[in-house]
Amino acid sequence: MDNDKIERYGDELFEAFVARRSVPPLLGREPEMSIADAYRIQQRYVARRLESGERVVGKKIGVTSKAVQELLGVYQPDFGILTSGMLCQEGDSIDLGALIQPKAEAELAFVLKHDLRGPGVTAMDVIHATDYVSPCFEIVDSRIDGWRIKIQDTVADNASCGVYVLGSAKGDPRRLDLSLAGMLLEKNGELFSTGVGAAVQGSPANAVAWLANTLGELGIPFEAGEVILSGSQSALVPVADGDELVCTVGGLGRCRVKFSGRSAV
């Protein structure tokens, strides 16, 4: 796709984000769009957010479970850029009014203490470079009508990033079994679903290594201090005004999040 189109779609997604409304699927309008094109649109969309005063604080990895990969017909993850405006604090309630069609996912976040430069990064390098891991919620949101996404649509839309919350629990990945750590997700005090680290690429550390290598090929920096959301370990949770979610990771601790207000859809 030519640069004009890339810019136009990136701008369209940014404007949809600002206006809190969704747009028709991009792939429906550009059937030839490749995943590489979609990442260029994402870069434009993120650049617009940075121009409006945000800064890059980390990355998210998406499409990490077998179920979601089969749904989208792709057999590798995708990534998006986390910007400063996406961070919410654990004690605050998340304002759904700022989102379009949000859903929550529970995952493990990594915070790096060393840069990771791919290609050639292994899961062992990831553990070595990690300062700590925390349970977290990612509230995904889509600027695409009705979540009618193909892989190109979600990649262009910054991997459907919405907002995220890090739990105050912090764990040393050297003291935690990342692939076997169980996860319990409760909604309003009731069990909603359970999961385990291995649901994410066999281990969340494998997903982070994939990200480091993919970013390395694209020349995108991956630096100490960044937060990486490693991929959902739970089913997508619909959320509404007054809901409270708690995820508890075995051997690590909890992340709690509350919601208020009404989303656009």
Site residues (vs another protein, CB under 8 A): 177, 179-184, 191, 194-199, 202, 248-251
CB of 16 or CB of 178, closer to another protein: 178
CB of 122 or CB of 179, closer to another protein: 179
- Minimal distance, residue 252 CB to another protein, in Å: 9
- Judge whether 247 and 254 are in contact, CB under 8 Å: yes
CB of 132 or CB of 192, closer to another protein: 192
CB of 120 or CB of 251, closer to another protein: 251
Note if the bond before 173 is cis, omega within 30 degrees.
Answer: no
Rg, the chain, Cα only: 17
Instruction: Look up residue 11 and give its DSSP letter.
Output: H
- Minimal distance, residue 263 CB to another protein, in Å: 27
What whole-number distance in Å separates Cα of residue 245 and Cα of residue 239? Answer: 9
Which residues, including other chains, have CB under 8 Å from residue 103's CB and lie 6 or more apart?
139, 140, 141, 236, 237, 238, 239
- Minimal distance, residue 183 CB to another protein, in Å: 6
CB of 184 or CB of 236, closer to another protein: 184
- Minimal distance, residue 80 CB to another protein, in Å: 24
List phi, psi (to 5°) of 220: -95, 130
- Minimal distance, residue 195 CB to another protein, in Å: 6
SS3 109: strand
